[in-house]
Chains A and B, each alone.
Chain A
Amino acid sequence: MSKVKALVLSGYGLNCDHETAYAFDITGAEPKRVHINGLIDGTETLKDYKILVFIGGFSWGDDHGAGVVQSIRLKTHIGDQILEFIEKGNLVLGICNGFQTLVNMGLLPGLNGDYTDRKVALTWNDSGNFRDEWVKMKVNEESPCIFTKGLKTLELPIRHGEGKFVAEDDVIKQLQANNQIVVKYADQDYKPAEMKFPDNPNGSMLDIAGICDPTGRIFGLMPHPEGFNHYTNHPDWTAKKQQALKAGTPFETGITEGMQIFKNAVDYFS
């Protein structure tokens, strides 16, 4: 069987293209890094792909709101193609700047099947500053999200200045009702962060770290699963290795939690 093809958008200040492609590579897909303009000028077409990834970075320098100008460019030029891509039952993943782009395009939250309406926002962290740290998250196992199937918790790095999730109450209620809230920031014991900094690193309402559309096929999150592509990415790995040596147990160096998200996407098509 031929491999599932994943398109990783790049260009215009995006910067996680290599490791995102690598993540798909090691989880069994056939990734390709494609410049945004390559899709717009028709050199590449979405028709050839099953998975579309909006990646992290600083598209257009994050000026005028993170992901805003990217969403304008994509919506104006290939908005219809993307809607068609979704309609066909394919998967879309948005990470960090990609998540910001998805919500600005309206692809998330996609309430009532409307994939053009801006209903939620990701805005400046309460700290007013960019922050890099690993966060723990609780996964909503009731969520229809394809990407998090089988995961109960997650630990991944966040690296953003504008990750605070904001929406009106009625939108939040619908998200809850539909189990569209996929991942929430948690404390060291994976209990709800309850808005406490730094467990909730940005002041997101309800500790929301990521949401999906009602079908579970479009998923956006602020933390970076591709940043956990190898066991040595984890901040505690040297300590865990010592513990394992001491206990005489094998030290886990296999597929990481971060990679499971990509693997779930790939497995969806097999």
Chain B
Amino acid sequence: MKSRLEITLKDNLLDAEGLKLQKNAEKYFGIELESVRSVHILTFDSSLTEEQLETVRADAFTNPVIQISSFAPLDVDFDYCLWIGFRPGVKDNAGSTALEAIEDILSIKLPVGDAVYTSKRYCIKSKDLSYEDADKLSGELLANDIIQQWKIFKKDEWDKNEGVGIIVPKVELNHTPTVETVTVESNEALLEISDERNLALNPNDIPTIREYFLGSDVRKDREEVGLSDPTDLELEYISQARSDHCNHNTFQGIFRYKDMETGEIIVEDNPFKTYIKEPTLKLKEMKDWVVSVLWDNAGVGKFDEEFNYTITGETHNSPSNMEAYGGAITGIVGVYRDPLGTGLASKLIMGSYGFCVGDFDYDGELKPKLHPRRLLDGVIEGVKDGGNKSGVPTTFGQVLFNQGYLGKSLVFVTALGLMPAKVEGKLTHEKTTTAGDLIIMSGGRVGKDGIHGVTASSEVFSENTPAGHVQIGDPYTQKKMHDFILEVRDESLMTFITDNGGGGLSSSIGESAELSNGCIVDLDKVPLKYEGLDQWEIWISESQERMTIAVKPEDLDRFMELSRKHAVESTVIGEYTNSGKLHIKYNGKTCAYVNIDLLASAFPQWEFDAEWTSPEMRGLREPVINPPKDYNELLKDLLSRPNICSKEWVTRQYDHEVQGTSVIKPLVGKGRDVNNDASVIRPVLTSEKGLAFTQSLLPMYSKIDAYHMTTCTIDEAVRRMICVGANLDHISGVDNFCWPDIGYNEDKNPDGKFKAAQLIRSCRALKDMCEAYEMPLLSGKDSMYVDGHLNGPYGETRKVSALETMQFSTTGVVPDISKCVTMEAKSAGDSVYLLGDTKNELGASEYYERLGFTGLNVPVVTPEKYAIIYKALSSSIEKELIASAHGVYRGGLGTHLSMVAMGGALGLDIDLAKVPVADKIDREDTILFSESAGRFIVTVSEENKEVFEKIFKGLPCECIGSVTDKNTLSIKGFDKEIVSVSVNELLSAWKAPFGEMI
């Protein structure tokens, strides 16, 4: 029976959801609404009787204190009613939990096929609202056509008995799963099929693939299992494994790097090996705390004698660009499976985010799929639901606006875990599969989710076509699985675990079977969300919340018992073997039989031409600016700039202290509203050791040179660590490259060679910095093709590429959290010191950007020199000599003195003439806004000055002023006071752009 239950708040209660729509309609589109009430709808497609439905209505889905409900449409007045529901096949998390509630309250087990679908309608009162505006609110504020459908009802069209109707978005495929074989007669034929089927095989790989399948030994082997030409499943398997996502072909490619100034050509063979792998292995030898790197889902570092921490960072750009909420929640929930699938599983202990989007108030003529503001709303909410509902504190994050991200936005998500170094005497960072181990899939079920990524999104929709290629992560299901897996680990019931992410079972089983040297899988045993999936779809589906686990047969019973206890679905779907073959069957019939070592065979490297044209050759010069006169206004304007200003509203939506481990929060200071340099947690509650974390994003410097972008980004991430009390003995890094397309094409990517050169320069910088700071990389990822083709007003499309971007995350062990330091000025009378030299380095700075220039003098990082200062500062913090420490970052000294003052709600008296400089600087604006790296502002109390100054003897460290109780930032220039502005005013300016948002 199909029935529809409507639930709404009693009309004397404030409807926060309705109010949100009302506010956003006004804020985003200037559409004024009188009132909005929301109605929640549950549509039952079930075997429940009327009596049962009534019990469910009254006792489960209606809160008698605040709600009313009815199976007939509720009589809520409106001028327009907007109904928003999911498309078929889109993960409806609340629909699934409704089933659990029904089963509990009725003490029954519902038959397979019974379903509940959730949707909403918004009852809008507004005399003047037009149909077009109602459609705009539906399509551009409430729903995304990729995953949702909507209906608009006018008051006079509303049928009081029918309401919105009974809409059941059930998936019906009516398809019999079939395995197809694919001809390998010629390169051209295979390439054509690859295009037709969205296999995305690289043309260079095709001869290798054909050679394999045409080989007489292989054909003889295959005949024995009833196969000849490759099956679609086999080609999908190879395509997944060879994809840039899984195989990092770009970074392992051959680059011919030409310096256009000198004409010199350097061949860079496999930058991954040269610039990431080799330095990491070298540093692993030097640092005994590096436990496991370069092979697992996350890197492993030593926390203390008992525990190791795990860390990795990911991006989820393309999906978030299409469906911001779904993409972002899938991203964060997905990256949380990486530490869970590292070694023999680690507990999630923290996460972070980085969002890069186009200008918040963009009103230009290009039409991105989602306006940056809406996209940002969506990704913020996605990471919020994904992170908070996972029970993992989100202790750090950044939001960055730049027009380059209008083409494609970036969503960085980073995850940290913790695991005991040993369980029952076995090292937890080691794992392997052995012939005879059972292959188990735990967690969610398999649907058409994520198959061929976003390419499927352009397909035509029908009423029952699953729209599952855009995914919505389910943190609830995953949290249950997380708790389950930790118990499995603690009882030593598994020998291997990895997550199902990109490539699904194809990647997780394919890669883990290399360890045992073979596997046999019965695909028909894989639990499905709905019938009718082809075998290859089951094999590569990226349905979320799944782990692949190896269990010894003797441990299976206990494993399954725990699985039932945690209400997690686990299924034995095969066995690891040592046959040398990846053997996949469906209902007993073989549909894949491939040599496990095929992927290790010599596929050709990708090749790129890189041409480096220096900034000078590109015509970049320093601008001509006569120094400003009104520094007060200038400073306030800089503080109001989108990439400097307060984004407290984002930070507060994230639970940053669940698990009870918070030591240094993302927002600190007197008003608890200013961003700290890094966060610190106490992951082991019984220990006084901390784990510090931070990240940096400075893509603007790529306008001049991605080498310096990279050095500045990494230096900032290191400095942020030092500020809270971590030290160079133990800081590890995670690199996340996000680059525009680097493959040269005369028409489609004419500047590809330059972008390729930027990539090489960035890789070189990465190695230089890691070696200088003796900082091993524990993990890293790359995401290429950060470009978009946007519709313009004349029917044309325009390509928009992002700046070459690297997010660099650092983490470090703080030996004693009682010595941690925050950034804000603490007490009037303390001295303000500036550490590190200021240079004439305004290139691509916030200051130049504000005035409309790029300039040329990008900050040049000298890590060997800085390291001495960093060690001295760490030593001062260790000796508890420092009251506050804060780095000087974007916006320069003026901006960051303001931060220190705002944080402490105290004044500062500063003398610019005292600022340490490498070479004489005769301009006040240069000193105030230069973004030279390697600098800190620290405050020190009177009694500690002497010892502090002794530690810094001979280093660039000067007392530039003092903390006052006057609530004024006062800065003396070369001859007179140039800044005198109240700290409250600075704070207001800093909060102005987003201060109203909560």
Contact = CB atoms under 8 A, between A and B. Distances in A.
Interface of A: 10-16, 18-19, 22-23, 35, 37-38, 41, 56-58, 60-65, 68-69, 72-73, 76-77, 104, 118-121, 123-134, 157, 159, 166-168, 197-198, 203, 224, 226-227, 229-230, 232-233, 235-236, 238-239, 241-243, 245-246, 253
A124 B660 contact: no
A12 B484 CA distance: 10
B525 interface: no
Given A58-B391, A125-B16, A227-B660, A134 B63 contact: no
Given A38-B565, A77-B104, A123-B13, A69 B97 contact: yes
Contacts of A197: 998
Contacts of B60: 64, 68-69, 72
A30 B101 CA distance: 32
Given A239-B826, A243-B827, A253-B818, A16 B566 contact: no
B926 to A, nearest CB: 33
B155 interface: no
Most buried by A among B672, B817, B821, B998: B998
A76 B107 contact: yes
A5 to B, nearest CB: 20
A76 B104 contact: yes
Interface in B540-579: 565-567
B700 to A, nearest CB: 30
A118 B998 contact: no
Interface string B62-101: 0111100000000000000000000000000110011011
Contacts of B20: 128
B896 interface: no
B941 interface: yes
Given A125-B16, A131-B652, A239-B826, A56 B101 contact: no
Given A127-B998, A232-B662, 11 more contacts: A12-B476, A15-B658, A19-B685, A38-B565, A41-B565, A68-B63, A104-B63, A130-B653, A167-B65, A232-B820, A233-B660
Most buried by B among A76, A131, A167, A238: A238
Contacts of B654: 130, 132
Interface in B354-389: 384, 388-389
B65 A56 contact: no
Contact of A127 (B16, B63, B483, B665): B16
B104 A69 contact: yes
Contact of B479 (A15, A19, A120, A241): A15
B658 A134 contact: no
B538 to A, nearest CB: 26
16 contacts: A19-B660, A22-B686, A61-B93, A63-B98, A72-B101, A72-B105, A121-B63, A123-B9, A123-B66, A125-B16, A126-B16, A130-B654, A227-B658, A230-B660, A233-B662, A238-B821
B17 interface: yes
A233 B658 CA distance: 11
Contacts of B827: 242-243, 246
Contacts of A37: 565-567
B146 interface: no
B266 to A, nearest CB: 49
B659 interface: yes
Given A16-B658, A22-B660, A132 B652 contact: yes
Contact of A12 (B567, B663, B670): B567
Contacts of B97: 60-61, 63-64, 69
Contacts of B105: 72, 76
A100 B941 CA distance: 47
Interface residues of B, number: 69
B396 to A, nearest CB: 13
Interface of B: 9, 13-14, 16-17, 19-20, 59-61, 63-66, 93-94, 97-98, 100-101, 104-105, 107, 384, 388-391, 474-476, 479-480, 483, 565-567, 652-665, 668, 670, 672, 682, 685-686, 817-818, 820-822, 824, 826-827, 880, 883, 941, 998
A10 B480 CA distance: 10
Contact of A157 (B94, B98, B657, B941): B657
B contact face: mostly helix, strand, loop, or mixed? loop
Contacts of A58: 388-389, 391, 475-476, 479
Nearest to B649: A129
A227 B665 CA distance: 13
Contact of A232 (B476, B659, B818): B818
A128 B100 contact: no
B142 to A, nearest CB: 14
- What 5 A-B pairs are tightest by C-beta distance, nearest first? A15-B391, A19-B660, A128-B16, A61-B476, A63-B94
A57 to B, nearest CB: 6
Contacts of A238: 664, 668, 820-822, 826
A19 B659 contact: yes
A40 to B, nearest CB: 10
Contact of B668 (A61, A123, A235): A235
A186 to B, nearest CB: 16
Given A58-B391, A69-B104, A11 B660 contact: no
Nearest to B673: A133
Most buried by A among B20, B391, B654, B824: B391
A76 B107 CA distance: 8
A182 B391 CA distance: 27
B998 A121 contact: no
A12 B880 CA distance: 44
A38 B565 CA distance: 7
Contacts of A127: 16, 998
Contact of B66 (A121, A126, A198, A227): A121
A260 to B, nearest CB: 15
Given A12-B480, A76-B104, A233-B662, A18 B567 contact: no
Given A166-B13, A253-B818, A64 B660 contact: no
A118 to B, nearest CB: 6
A28 B94 CA distance: 40
Given A37-B567, A63-B98, A166 B662 contact: no
B685 A61 contact: no
A58 B60 CA distance: 17
Given A64-B98, A126-B14, A18 B685 contact: yes
A120 B65 contact: yes
B101 A64 contact: yes
A121 to B, nearest CB: 4
Nearest to B880: A245
A19 B391 CA distance: 12
B98 A118 contact: no
A104 B105 CA distance: 14
A232 B826 CA distance: 17
B672 A134 contact: yes
Nearest to B823: A238
Contact of B653 (A12, A14, A131): A131
Nearest to B23: A128
B658 A159 contact: yes
A110 B301 CA distance: 50
Contacts of B653: 129-132
Contacts of B670: 239
Contacts of A236: 672
Contact of A62 (B389, B483, B657, B941): B389
B94 A72 contact: no
B974 to A, nearest CB: 33
Nearest to B479: A13
Given A58-B476, A239-B670, A10 B65 contact: no
Contact of B682 (A14, A41, A203, A230): A230
Contacts of B93: 61, 63
B384 to A, nearest CB: 6
A168 B565 CA distance: 39
Most buried by B among A132, A134, A168, A198: A132
Contacts of A38: 565
A133 B672 contact: yes
